[in-house]
Amino acid sequence: MDIRGIIDDYEDFVAKRMYAEGGEFLLAAAEAAEAEGDIETLFAVWNELIGHCRKNDDREGCYRAIERVKELTPLAVADTDAAAGTAWVNVATGYNRFGDTENAILYYEKALAVYEKTLGRRDPRMGALMNNYATALEAAGRLDEAEKRFEFALKQMAALDKREDEAVTYVNIAHLKEDQGARAEEITRCLDRAYYLLDTVRERGSYYAFVCSKCAPSFLHFGDKRGEILNERAEKIYSYLAEDR
């Protein structure tokens, strides 16, 4: 089966904000792959379903996808393959989304062990892992460890000019600062930097819209009305993409 084609078709549903239909499409693709005995496609689709269910607040669906990915990973990829690390990141992020901090940390650590053996420290996947891992450590009250992970992520994302991801990390750090009892000025500096980074992104597609919509609630949480601007940007992009497709 054509994995890239399946993902592209799913992204068309997302661009049109047809989220339920997108989920149904992925489940149908998983059933077809299972019927054909196509483990590689089955593995890829269930990984995608973790993210789909996580973003759509479907805890039951997310946990079902997590269990399937845990079953399929040793069948689809070797422990020494970076793809195994990415699968564990997906599992961990699914757990983290629904407050299962203990399991999230466990699987982020499994992912880190794989990545450290298979990726260079400048690989963008390492920075993304550190950012997500830090949020789980923060939730567990391990604030000093979380801060170190966020700092690693920031340095790497800045070096790679990944502005959307760097902005997300600054927003996450703003919440960490709040947990640490920092002054309002320190939180504002993080938000200022995040907004600046988002303001200077040139290519504004679906990922940019997703990041804006992800960051907006945090701005509003801190009483920063720039969150409304970010929501408006995301809405305009999603509307344009829906019309264009």
Within a domain: 208: yes
What is 151-210 written as a DSSP string?
A: HHHHHHHHHHT-HHHHHHHHHHHHHHHHHTT--HHHHHHHHHHHHHHHHT-S--SHHHHH
**Domain span at 161:** 133-245
| Same domain for 47 and 7 | yes
Of 94, 119, 144, the last residue of a domain is: 119
Predicted model pTM: 0.88
Of 119, 152, 181, the last residue of a domain is: 119
Would you state the structure tokens that stand for residue 46, as one six-digit string?
A: 């269930």
| Same domain for 64 and 34 | yes
- Give the separation between CA 35 and CA 25, rounded to whole angstroms: 15
CATH number of the domain encompassing residue 195? 1.25.40
| Same domain for 145 and 33 | no
Name the maximum alpha-carbon separation found in the chain: 58
Q: What is the pLDDT of residue 105?
A: 98
- Give the separation between CA 182 and CA 186, rounded to whole angstroms: 6
Radius of gyration of the chain (CA): 18
Q: Could you give the number of structural domains in the chain? A: 2
**Element of type H or E holding 68:** helix 59-76
| Same domain for 211 and 164 | yes
Q: What is the pLDDT of residue 245?
A: 56
Within a domain: 196: yes
Cβ contact 216:231 at 8 Å = yes
| Same domain for 83 and 4 | yes
| Same domain for 185 and 87 | no
Tens digit of each residue's pLDDT, the chain (245 residues) = 888 999 999 988 887 778 999 999 999 999 999 999 999 999 999 999 999 999 999 999 999 999 999 999 999 999 889 999 999 999 999 999 999 999 999 999 999 999 999 998 788 899 999 999 999 999 999 999 999 999 999 999 999 999 999 999 999 999 999 999 999 999 999 999 999 999 999 999 989 999 999 999 999 999 999 999 999 999 999 888 877 65
Cβ contact 131:168 at 8 Å = yes
| Same domain for 205 and 168 | yes
What is 111-135 written as a DSSP string?
A: HHHHHHHHS-TT-HHHHHHHHHHHH
Within a domain: 145: yes
- Give the separation between CA 36 and CA 207, rounded to whole angstroms: 32
Within a domain: 127: no
| Same domain for 137 and 115 | no
